[in-house]
Structure 1
Amino acid sequence: GAAAPLHLQYLLEPLHPTVHTQRGATATLPCVLRALPRNYRVKWSKVEPANYGESIIIITNGLFHKNYGPLSPRVRLRHSHRYDASLTISNVALEDEGRYRCQLVNGLEDESISLTLHLEGVVFPYQPSNGRYKFNYHEAKRACEQQDSRLATYQQLYKAWTEGLDWCNAGWILDGTVHYPIINSREPCGGRLLLPGVRTYGARDKQKDRFDAFCFTSALQGSAAF
């Protein structure tokens, strides 16, 4: 049978594992202890799926703390009471979206909870003025950044498709794969027989292959029209 879920001895399970926010806002990822072990540390990290690792953000022993990495100037522990190890991120940036882990280390034992920071925003297809399919991956990434955005994640593109994004040209997304979202099946876009969906070309050569880009931005007034 399946392994039983690990019982949390010290950390409270979050009521809402996803925190919704916008660029420029202040967001708090909750992590609250139900009891204080005698000697413990709490470590916050951001899960980085692209390099199969985690980036440490902050470590505290309840009395002192140390910040790490590029998020360092914008993070602090909320500390609204002695059991509170929640992480507050100010001036949320597009790259802050993703999964975070609050880990309690108590001697040889440790336990953790995971939370997702989700930015509300809009996905838009982007191509240069000189026509379609001009970007390799790195150029697409730069092009989105020049539009005050970043390459969309698959989840962002999928959500945009469910909200009506219907676009025939394939574009790069953040993980280096290439997709195009179709609502109205039609001949030039894979044929009428294919069901609506986010069509995929899979992972492509980031240097040689050329497509458009799907960019994501947050805190826009209104919505983008194509």
Structure 2
Amino acid sequence: MVNMRKVTHRAVSEELSRTVTLPCLFTLRSSGAGPSGHEPPRIKWTKVWGQRGSDGQQKEQAVLVAKDNVVKVKKAFQGRVTLPGYHVNRYNASLALKGLRSSDSGLYRCEVVVGINDEQDTVPLEVTGVVFHYRAPHDRYALSFSDAKRVCTENAAVIATPEQLQATFADGYDNCDAGWLSDQSVR
């Protein structure tokens, strides 16, 4: 049988474009056959959101499935998710998600299945930060990098990094204006 180390998780909070690790640890209870008698566990990560419908179900988006040291990542998450501890310890199903986007916020479910036994745990994720374009009121492209930093500070903001702009673009942000980024480039 599967025994998952469940915790009442407070939301894991991380900034836009960063990497986060969502915990999922479990053990297998012996059925008398000994640890070597277990079939390899199947691990499935899913993103769950929305209100439960009349059927009691919520919308789901598969993230990845792993079994017997083979990890299959769904297309929407390719290149962004891994199970960093899995290849060393198959009982560590913690999920790393990089290049965080605002749309990554939500509830993630880790499900572990061995034979007919399964356990699941959920971890809420909150991606913080927002990218917006600021234009001087009097003239387009009038701010120097120093001026842009000052204006951001006055508005309780900071200049976005190139990675934050990329994460926001990947989420659908589309603005035909150039602006300063933290590396002093204009994009």
User: Shorter chain as normaliser: what TM range?
Assistant: 0.5 to 0.7
**Aligned partner of 1:76: which letter?**
T
1:21 aligns to what SS in structure 2?
strand
Where does residue 154 of structure 2 map in the other structure?
A: none
2:4 aligns to what SS in structure 1?
coil
Where does residue 101 of structure 1 map in the other structure?
A: 109
2:76 aligns to what SS in structure 1?
coil
* Residue 92 (1) aligns with residue 100 (2): yes
2:74 to 68, 75, 92: 68
1:34 to 27, 34, 42: 27
Q: 1:58–1:113: structure 2 CA closer, same or farther, 3 Å change rule?
A: same
Larger deviation, residues 10-19 vs 70-79? 10-19
Where does residue 163 of structure 1 map in the other structure?
A: none
**Aligned partner of 1:145: which letter?**
Y
Where does residue 56 of structure 1 map in the other structure?
A: 62
Distance in 1 between the 2:12 and 2:66 partners? Answer: 22
Q: Give 1:123 deviation, angstroms.
A: 10
CA contact (8 A) 1:55 1:69 kept: no
Q: 1:63–1:108: structure 2 CA closer, same or farther, 3 Å change rule?
A: same
**Aligned partner of 1:119: which letter?**
V
Where does residue 25 of structure 1 map in the other structure?
A: 18
Q: 1:122–1:93: structure 2 CA closer, same or farther, 3 Å change rule?
A: closer
Distance in 1 between the 2:75 and 2:173 partners? Answer: 21
CA contact (8 A) 2:9 2:124 kept: no
Q: Give 1:64 deviation, angstroms.
A: 1.2
**Aligned partner of 2:44: which letter?**
K
Identity of aligned residues (%): 30
Q: Give 1:15 deviation, angstroms.
A: 6.1
Residues 132-187 of structure 1, C-alpha deviation per residue, up to 9 Å, x if partnerless?
Answer: xxxxxxxxxxxx8346xxxxxxxxxxxxxxxxxxxxxxxxxxxxxxxxxxxxxxxx
**Aligned partner of 1:24: which letter?**
S
Which of the two has greater strand per residue? 1
1:101 aligns to what SS in structure 2?
strand
Q: 1:103–1:91: structure 2 CA closer, same or farther, 3 Å change rule?
A: same
**Aligned partner of 2:85: which letter?**
H
Where does residue 117 of structure 1 map in the other structure?
A: 125
CA contact (8 A) 2:80 2:99 kept: yes
CA contact (8 A) 1:32 1:85 kept: yes
Q: Give 1:62 deviation, angstroms.
A: 4.2
- How does the TM-score come out when normalised to structure 1? 0.47
Q: CA RMSD in A?
A: 3.1
Instruction: Give the unaligned 5+ runs of structure 1.
Output: 1-7, 125-143, 148-219, 222-226
CA contact (8 A) 1:56 1:69 kept: no
Where does residue 11 of structure 1 map in the other structure?
A: 4
